Structure 1
Amino acid sequence: MVNVFSNDLKGDQSTITDDELVKQIVETNNAILFGKLYDRYSKKVYSKCYSFSKDKNEAKDLTQDIFIKLFTKLDTYKAQSKFSTWLYSFTYNFLVNYKNQDTSKKLKERWERLNKHDYHLASEDDIDEDDLFELRASKLEKALELLEPADKALLLLKYQDNVSVKDIQVILNIAESAVKMRLKRARIKVMKAYDKIKD
């Protein structure tokens, strides 16, 4: 993957923490330092982009677009959660908005709108997490593609990236109970989608 940011760093920057690196980048607006951040996370961001687009070239373009936008928005990181968690949220927001270019709604607004319909799920039995892990990967991947991007993003954050409910709560700035309800809704939806897919 071509790095649009120079990574010709002077001195040993490999031991600096993400938070320290972000702070230096924000203070200096230094593209060389940003290149170090790019080197640390571009493969993970590319992986997320590919999981959404299923096209290598598009995933590369999306990765570059995300990092270009990140460079201008890095000052919004407030260290309330780990930088990697915040970056995954930033990436998913970007990808959900990319997938929904027909609307200007942000991921949070989309989830809030979807959340109004959660009362339908209150009476439904939850899906056990262990049941999700036993599903066939290929079929589960197809089921995920049938979900609203916001639901897919939430499931990937929780189960692929192992982001805790507490961290998701911070990212979305909502109550823990709301995070759990959204996860429940997403699990039910993915299981229903999975059941509809023929082997």
Structure 2
Amino acid sequence: MRDFEVIHVYLQTQANPCFTLLYNRYVSKVYAKCISILKNEELAHDATQEIFTKIFLNLSKFGEKAQFSTWIYSITYNFCIDYLRRNKKQGELFTDDIEKAPDPVDEVPDEALLQLEVDTLRKVLDEIPTPDRIILLMKYQDDMPIKDIAEILNKTESAVKMQIKRAKEKAHKVKEELMPAIN
């Protein structure tokens, strides 16, 4: 059954196997996202449980305007960012001034990031701010379209493009600082 069908059956019957099916489909993805944002296995485990509680309690609010996976990703992302904000582990996140920025012209080509070795890429991602790491992972690891990223972040597509451009520039700069001889 597709996600939409499982959700409809669950909402009509409250059958636990339906929610269990959705849980099993997405738990590893939610957990992986939590680890990539929170950088702590125990926190990621707790966050995953809380996120699925939110999903369970709000399943009737899923309006099928987007894919179910995008809806879950949005809940996961927002939960983790809210956690970071509450615990002040991160400075200012996602400034709104990029909403007003014009469409960017890429200066750092995608290939420059995609050709990094895995270990180097991990080091670079660990060194850039969390919001930049998250948006790059959305775009390049999760292969999310700009439109979906904009929906999740509640930003315009232009703002997302600018944020990706700036994140790529930061990642490239960190790579140059970490690996000066490779440049």
Shorter-chain TM-score: what band?
Answer: 0.7 to 0.9
Q: 3-state DSSP class of the match of 1:79?
A: coil
Q: 3-state DSSP class of the match of 1:100?
A: helix
Q: Which residue of 1 aligns with 2:96?
A: 113
Structure 2: which amino acid aligns with 1:43?
S
- Cα separation, partners in 2 of 1:77 and 1:172, compared to 1, 3 Å: farther
**In the alignment, is the contact (CA less than 8 A) between 1:88 and 1:157 conserved in 2?**
no
Whether 2:46 is the aligned partner of 1:65: answer no
TM-superposition CA deviations, 1:160-185 (whole Å, max 9, x none): 11111122233344432222112111
Q: Which residue of 2 aligns with 1:169?
A: 150
Displacement of 1:157 in angstroms is 1.1
- Match 1:155 to one of 136, 142, 146: 136
Q: 3-state DSSP class of the match of 1:111?
A: coil
- Cα separation, partners in 2 of 1:125 and 1:174, compared to 1, 3 Å: closer
Q: 3-state DSSP class of the match of 1:126?
A: coil
How many residues were matched structurally?
A: 177
Please report the RMSD computed on the Cα atoms of aligned residues, expressed in angstroms. Answer: 2.9
TM-score, with normalisation over the residues of structure 1? Answer: 0.73
CA distance in 2 between partners of 1:100 and 1:24 (Å)? 36
CA distance in 1 between partners of 2:151 and 2:55 (Å)? 19
Displacement of 1:65 in angstroms is 1.7
Q: Which residue of 1 aligns with 2:19?
A: 34
Structure 2: which amino acid aligns with 1:78?
G
Whether 2:160 is the aligned partner of 1:179: answer yes
**In the alignment, is the contact (CA less than 8 A) between 1:110 and 1:150 conserved in 2?**
yes
CA distance in 2 between partners of 1:40 and 1:69 (Å)? 16
- Cα separation, partners in 2 of 1:99 and 1:143, compared to 1, 3 Å: farther
Unaligned runs of 5+ in 1: 1-15, 104-108
**In the alignment, is the contact (CA less than 8 A) between 1:42 and 1:63 conserved in 2?**
yes
Q: Which residue of 2 aligns with 1:77?
A: 62
Displacement of 1:194 in angstroms is 2.6
**In the alignment, is the contact (CA less than 8 A) between 1:22 and 1:74 conserved in 2?**
yes
Q: Which residue of 2 aligns with 1:20?
A: 5
CA distance in 2 between partners of 1:158 and 1:125 (Å)? 14
**In the alignment, is the contact (CA less than 8 A) between 1:169 and 1:176 conserved in 2?**
yes
CA distance in 2 between partners of 1:20 and 1:110 (Å)? 36
